[in-house]
A and B are shown apart, each in its own frame.
Chain A
């Protein structure tokens, strides 16, 4: 099944009469989907790779099938993908008469983002497990080849991100987490930039989960000093505390939310800019705009590359900063 590019049924699209809908084009390329769409040929033939749909419905139990059964609005086992309104793009369930059931089924499908995250996970596992075995076999020596490229980056995360913020004694405990999020975010940012890549870190659910991990790790490793600063800030008169404690509690929540939105908005904004510049060609409908558009897109891609690396660095740096603040001793 892996490697088989299956194509959906033939669909003759009337081109030239349909106006190019820019926002729909852009949102389609940024949003998640149940199939991995590669390209559409001139006569409307969609070439895409269907992904598994795993759905649990209260009425009819588990469903497991490939998403090409749901393409083009077809219905399968009473499930179909909604087309308009609040159910657009979501899997909805119809009962025997064809009417919509009120509660949506729980959707555990392997969508494009999940499949891309799994690929990124496999790449990271392969890279770093082989790096570890190289060190184990030949001792602490500079590795050759691509692994020699990873070592300075790991040392950079340790010396410039972990140790200045967490301190030398305890940074060893948190280095696995910091390295994981740095390389995960970096790899997914870079994979989103290649053609047919999926927009993983531009999905707010993914970035929210990563920020949630930082929140959990920060607050679990918070020591007495940290909680004292939140609930009984020293040097503050007692009557200010009822105002200050809620503000501090909100501050605990706002920092991960800021991490979430910063990563999500930077990556998504970059993708939207590139897609908009390309759709300039389709809006103007002339080949003359193509050189200008392509030059701009190249420039924006370089900027996006910088943003991809920078956002991974910033997320890791701020996570390390929050962890460092939580385990700081009283001075």
Chain B
């Protein structure tokens, strides 16, 4: 049961690093060109949701390994 928790935590670390990078690059892009900010924001949210989907794959596998 502990390994499942460690696996889920690793998936969360991966997601956090990925989404953090997206956020930081989005901030840089908005700072460079404020007119494009709504496009950038939409793209950022979509990418974040897709990456979170992959991380939740890992969490689901961890949950399945308990039962």
Contact = CB atoms under 8 A, between A and B. Distances in A.
Interface of A: 258, 261-262, 264-266, 269, 310-311, 314, 317
Interface of B: 45-46, 49-50, 52-53, 56-57, 59-60
Contacts of A262: 49-50, 52-53, 56
A261 B54 CA distance: 9
A225 B4 CA distance: 44
Contacts of A310: 45, 49
A262 B49 CA distance: 9
Contacts of B45: 310
Nearest to B61: A261
12 contacts: A258-B53, A261-B53, A261-B56, A262-B52, A262-B56, A265-B53, A265-B56, A265-B59, A266-B53, A266-B56, A269-B59, A314-B49
A269 B53 CA distance: 11
Contacts of B60: 261, 264-265
Contacts of A261: 53, 56-57, 60
B17 to A, nearest CB: 18
A286 B35 CA distance: 51
Contacts of A266: 52-53, 56
Judged by DSSP, the binding face of B is: helix
Contacts of B57: 258, 261, 265
B58 to A, nearest CB: 9
A264 B57 CA distance: 10
A264 B64 CA distance: 13
Given A261-B57, A265-B56, 15 more contacts: A258-B57, A261-B53, A261-B60, A262-B49, A262-B52, A262-B53, A262-B56, A265-B53, A265-B57, A265-B60, A269-B56, A269-B59, A311-B49, A314-B50, A314-B53
Nearest to B48: A310
A314 B56 contact: no
A258 B53 CA distance: 8
A311 B46 CA distance: 10
Contacts of B53: 258, 261-262, 265-266, 314
Contacts of A311: 49
Nearest to B52: A266
A50 B12 CA distance: 39
Given A261-B53, A262-B53, A314 B59 contact: no
A262 B60 CA distance: 10
A265 B60 CA distance: 7
Contacts of B49: 262, 310-311, 314
A266 B57 CA distance: 10
A57 B52 CA distance: 42
Specify which of A266, A314, A317 lies most central, judged by the most chain B CB atoms within 10 Å of its CB: A314
A252 to B, nearest CB: 18
A265 B51 CA distance: 13
Contacts of A314: 46, 49-50, 53
Contacts of B56: 261-262, 265-266, 269
A310 B60 CA distance: 20
Nearest to A265: B56
B33 to A, nearest CB: 20
